């Protein structure tokens, strides 16, 4: 088959994310209310500040922003994780970053599957935060063996989905009809199943070991446990959630409110209690309940360099030391958070010159007739400028070009996740008592062995985006 007949991974990803959103809206009606709430907030922000979208590096429209989502799933075995990697590759999504949540008392380690190129992100930035259960952290040997047996006995992918994944890998793409079938078949993996694979006693033992373990092991597949729309003002969204009696989290995870947002801020409504049928050993069913799926909202700011992340992590550690249980003291936590983070610069030029954040560099809006005279002036001050321009190198002259208005800077959006925030969301929906101390931590090597490949380094990714913008600018 000719490659010209293939549907692009970007298009498949868009179709899949839309289908996932429609499915989750039916399964969790409150998610639909959340989407409408976020839409109202974003529209209100743009009405009061029409320039907001122009300040975003991907050049989003309100329509594109309204379609942006990230989801989260939890897997039980290396085989499930490896196959999931292959499934996401069909949609142009690849593992970026490693997150060890065992350090926060959650028995999983994770990566995020997402697009890698800026073009693909602009087409559709759908991401899925994907966690793998560390079964070796189940302290009871008999329960651990039973959990691994249950996971090994299930097949979370349909036969047709596996066939289409293999066809994509062999042919290099999928036809329009195959792509549509792939979306339909793959969606089954993420669907909620109210029939448990275990009896109620086993479920309770898994639940007592850790709520997340019960969620991962007890069911036919890794039901999507939340879908997250992106808002332009998470503080306003939080207020609206509370007004709408959505049982919102007590605090917003991540950095405080800033003039220039950094990294990622998240909030959610509490997990829903859902009816489950447990298949008993006598063949009968027993009705029970399970709590896992919730609604989340995120606001994305600029990506930070290793130096910026070091400062962020140090300040956040300081806040957590002062207020170790923020959900129990939200007002005190917010006050300390704002006070401590006053140390983190909040103006673009300081962030850029101190190399705390990543930026894209683009041609300025100066008048064309002034360009030659300005460049002449700069060449007098920096004789190497023209040679550097010819070589696609601008890093040593960029401050002067920015000061003259020949170059504008735009913060690069943070496309990834924060382990402390993810753990905070999990704990608020699982209960604070869910956090445990694990003497044995997960590690990236074992995760990548299960995954079947290495994960991309997010810092390298942002650095490449920044450097590529400089090279493209120099060529102009």
Q: Mean of the per-residue pLDDT values for the chain?
A: 86
User: From CA 219, how far away is CA 447, in angstroms rounded?
Assistant: 22
The tokens 């850790």 sit on which residue?
A: 210
* Distance, first Cα to last Cα, the chain: 39
Q: Which two tokens stand for residue 119?
A: 């073009």
Structural domain boundaries of the chain?
A: 3-301+415-456, 304-354
| Phi, then psi, of 195 in degrees rounded to 5 | -95, 120
Task: Dump pLDDT digits (tens) for 338-372.
Answer: 999 999 999 999 999 999 999 999 887 654 445 55
Look at residue 465 in the predicted model and tell me its pLDDT: 94
pTM: 0.88
Q: Does domain 3-301+415-456 have CATH number 3.40.50.720?
A: no
Mean pLDDT of all residues in 66-77: 89
pLDDT, tens digit (0-9, with 9 covering 90-100), for 153-211? 999 999 999 999 999 999 999 999 999 999 999 999 999 999 999 999 999 999 999 88
Task: Give the pLDDT of residue 120.
Answer: 93
The DSSP-derived string for 290-304 is EE---EEEEEE-BPB
Burial class of residue 393 in the structure, from the number of CB atoms within 10 Å of its CB (0-12 exposed, 13-18 middle, 19+ buried): middle
Amino acid 57: pLDDT: 56
Q: Which tens digit of pLDDT belongs to each residue from 212-243?
A: 899 999 999 999 988 899 999 999 999 998 89
Residue with tokens 């958070």: 337
Token pair, residue 212, equals: 């997340």
Hey, how many other C-beta atoms are within 10 angstroms of the C-beta on 324?
Answer: 10
């Amino acid at each position: 088959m000719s490659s010209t007949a293939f549907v692009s991974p970007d298009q498949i990803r868009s179709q899949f994310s839309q289908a996932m959103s429609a499915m989750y809206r039916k399964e969790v009606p409150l998610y639909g209310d959340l989407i409408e709430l976020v839409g109202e907030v974003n529209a209100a922000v743009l009405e009061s500040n029409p320039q907001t979208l122009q300040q975003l590096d991907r050049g989003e429209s309100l329509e594109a922003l309204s379609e942006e989502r990230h989801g989260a799933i939890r897997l039980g075995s290396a085989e499930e994780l490896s196959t999931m990697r292959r499934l996401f590759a069909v949609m142009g999504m690849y593992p970026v970053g490693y997150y060890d949540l065992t350090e926060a008392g959650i028995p999983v380690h994770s990566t995020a599957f997402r697009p890698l190129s800026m073009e693909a992100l602009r087409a559709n930035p759908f991401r899925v935060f994907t966690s793998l259960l560390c079964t070796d952290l189940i302290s009871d040997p008999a329960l651990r063996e039973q959990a691994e047996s249950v996971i090994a006995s299930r097949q979370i992918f349909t036969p047709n989905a596996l066939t289409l994944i293999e066809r994509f890998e062999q042919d290099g793409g999928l036809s329009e009809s195959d792509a549509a079938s792939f979306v339909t078949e793959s969606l089954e993996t993420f669907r909620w199943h109210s029939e448990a694979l275990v009896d109620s006693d086993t479920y309770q033992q898994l639940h007592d070991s850790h709520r997340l373990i019960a969620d991962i092991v007890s069911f036919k597949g890794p039901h999507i446990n939340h879908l997250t729309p992106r808002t332009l003002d998470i503080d306003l969204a939080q207020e609206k959630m509370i007004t709408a009696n959505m049982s919102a989290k007590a605090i917003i995870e991540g950095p405080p409110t800033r003039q220039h947002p950094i990294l990622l801020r998240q909030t959610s409504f509490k997990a829903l209690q859902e009816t489950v049928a447990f298949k008993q050993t006598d063949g009968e069913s027993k009705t029970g309940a399970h709590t896992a799926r919730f609604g989340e909202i995120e606001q994305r700011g600029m990506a930070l360099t290793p130096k910026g992340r070091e400062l962020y992590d140090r300040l956040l550690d300081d806040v957590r030391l002062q207020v170790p249980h923020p959900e129990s003291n939200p007002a005190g936590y917010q006050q300390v958070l704002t006070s401590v983070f006053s140390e983190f610069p909040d103006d673009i030029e300081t962030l850029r010159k101190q190399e705390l954040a990543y930026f894209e560099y683009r041609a300025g809006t100066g008048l064309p007739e002034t360009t030659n005279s300005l460049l002449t002036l700069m060449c007098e001050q920096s004789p190497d400028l023209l040679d550097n321009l010819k070589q696609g190198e601008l890093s040593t002259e960029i401050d002067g070009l920015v000061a003259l208005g020949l170059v504008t800077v735009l913060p690069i959006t943070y496309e990834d996740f924060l382990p402390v925030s993810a753990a905070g969301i999990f704990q608020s929906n699982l209960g604070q008592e869910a956090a445990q101390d694990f003497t044995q931590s997960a590690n990236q090597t074992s995760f990548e062995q299960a995954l079947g490949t290495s994960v991309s380094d997010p810092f390298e990714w942002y650095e490449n985006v920044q450097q590529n913008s400089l090279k493209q600018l120099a060529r102009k």
